[in-house]
Structure 1
Amino acid sequence: MALVNYERDGQVVTLTLNRPEKLNAFSDELVGVLGDALHRFDTDDEAQIAILCGNGRAFSSGADVQQRQLRSREEFLKLGGPQGRGTHSADLLTKAVNWKPVIAAAHGYVLGLSVGIVLECDLIVAEEGTQFQITETSRGLGAGKYWALMHYRGGGAFTMEAALTGRFFTAEEAHKANLINRVAPKGKYLEVARDLAEQVLKNPPLSVRSTVRMRRHYMDRLSREVMFMGAPERLYLSEDFQEAARAFAEKRKPAKFKGR
């Protein structure tokens, strides 16, 4: 079974995360396969725009905690964080050749790492009632990157609230805060994303790509500055992070956090 399904209909490619039994949680392998699928789209002469969605009950539950957040201290030190070598999700949309636009079409849940992937897409559609959450806050990791991406989209005061509380927020709240482009009726998120894609396709493709390239450059520069600032903290080595990850895996409440 392919971890990402690639389907082209005319000039529109649909990329479907296909790990539904894990709510499309991002393992190192899934990040790598999605990167390959995005490169295939980027270099597909017949494709001009892509829609990224998830199979099953959710777009994605975020990082695969069992694999990426329960590594040994030695692994964290070798890798420089929870991600595996060459599987940093921040690289997915910034290693393009042709800079074709990508629309995120989300439903169900968009949690943790997948919030970043959605925000990095050029346009965003979410089904009504979709639940977003920056889980890094409660897991002992910094939410600076997510704050930067939401701030870049014009999220205003809502940006800091979402990053500091780590609470769930809905597609409707995200739309009100200018974080997403469309809220789709139940069961219609792919249809709405396709309609948005068709509007983009009415324009000359090179002018569209020029705009995408410029936007991604500034978005990437901002988010990488934030990650560079946070890197020396190495929060993935903290006791609080380790306790939060174990508690999640063991389906229990974490012990009192110690601030170390």
Structure 2
Amino acid sequence: MTQSQTGTLVDYERDGEIVTLTLNRPDKLNAFNDELVGALSDALHRFDMEDEAQIAIITGRGRAFSSGADVKQRQLRSREEFLRLGGPQGRGTHSADLLTRSVNWKPVIAAPHGYVLGLSVGIVLECDLIVAEEGTRFQITETSRGLGAGRYWGIMQFRGGGAFAMEAAFAGRYFTAEEALAANLINRVAPKGRYLDMARELARDVVKNPPLSVRSTVRTRRWYMDRMTREIMHQTAPERLYLSEDFQEAARAFTEKRKPAKFKGR
């Protein structure tokens, strides 16, 4: 049985036991504003609560999985807003909560293509399995924006990224799906146009197993991942880098489509 809901910020489609969640803000390259984070949270909760659904795939509509955080909304807030919210995220829209507040601990596959930037790198790496289209380009943009990449470094280390995780976090350079596969960050690289097909093949392999057995492993994995990332965020929170001059300059330069001025370390 197939069920679908389209025309929303996150389209929801269930085909038997497999749910596909499609980020649907293609005109903005699926940039995550507070509303899109909230919509994905709602869609994941619906998947978690739906008895027939056993596994979900997250993908993006258009040219990219996601260009990351919506800079104009989440990174150009006033100082007063940053202080009140405790960071760039809006109230109740912290992306780190998306996959770690489950009840039934069902597995989630990320199926990215095009670009995976900034905030969306975290969402992809926090998924249980990852199938990326060949040539997909990843970038931890937090490094160049002055926010720090500690959480992303930690997730990459958790997935086995080793020395590559250090380079990706420190340099903030683009890296490809092929590099990510070689560094053990993702599970599979799919030929052009076949990343969803391959993700669904992997999903069918997973759902052949007793669901409670699979969920037990998901729960264990996410518990350890969440503990590690919460420790990192607790350690870095007092820095409040979102209040620094360098962060403000980097965010303004991005929206004004210019090179940032020389960073001052303050």
Q: Name the TM-score class by shorter chain.
A: over 0.9
SS at match of 1:8: strand
State yes or no: 1:88 paired with 2:116. Answer: no
CA distance in 2, matches of 1:97, 1:201: 18
1:154 Cα offset (Å): 0.4
Taking the TM superposition and a 5 Å limit, the aligned residue runs for 1:92-241 are 92-241=98-247
Q: 1:76 aligns with which of 77, 82, 86?
A: 82
CA distance in 2, matches of 1:104, 1:157: 23
Q: 1:250 aligns with which of 241, 256, 263?
A: 256
- Which deviations, in whole Å up to 9, do the C-alpha atoms of 1:163-189 show, x marking residues without a partner? 000000000000000000000000000
CA RMSD, aligned part only?
0.4
Structure 1 gaps, min length 5: none
State yes or no: 1:45 paired with 2:56. Answer: no
- Which deviations, in whole Å up to 9, do the C-alpha atoms of 1:206-234 show, x marking residues without a partner? 00000000000000110111111000000
CA distance in 1, matches of 2:230, 2:70: 22
1:193 Cα offset (Å): 0.2
1:7 Cα offset (Å): 0.1
State yes or no: 1:13 paired with 2:19. Answer: yes
1:150 Cα offset (Å): 0.1
Alignment-derived partner of residue 3 in structure 2? none
SS at match of 2:138: strand
SS at match of 1:138: helix
CA distance in 2, matches of 1:183, 1:219: 23
1:82 Cα offset (Å): 0.1
The percent identity for this pair of structures is 82
CA distance in 2, matches of 1:115, 1:107: 12
CA distance in 2, matches of 1:220, 1:142: 18
State yes or no: 1:55 paired with 2:99. Answer: no
Alignment TM-score, normalising by the size of structure 2: 0.97
1:86 Cα offset (Å): 0.2
CA distance in 1, matches of 2:230, 2:66: 23
CA distance in 2, matches of 1:17, 1:184: 20
Aligned AA for 1:172?
Answer: E
CA distance in 1, matches of 2:181, 2:234: 29
1:54 Cα offset (Å): 0.2
Aligned length: 260
Structure 2 gaps, min length 5: 1-6
Structure 1 moving runs of 4+ over 4 Å: none
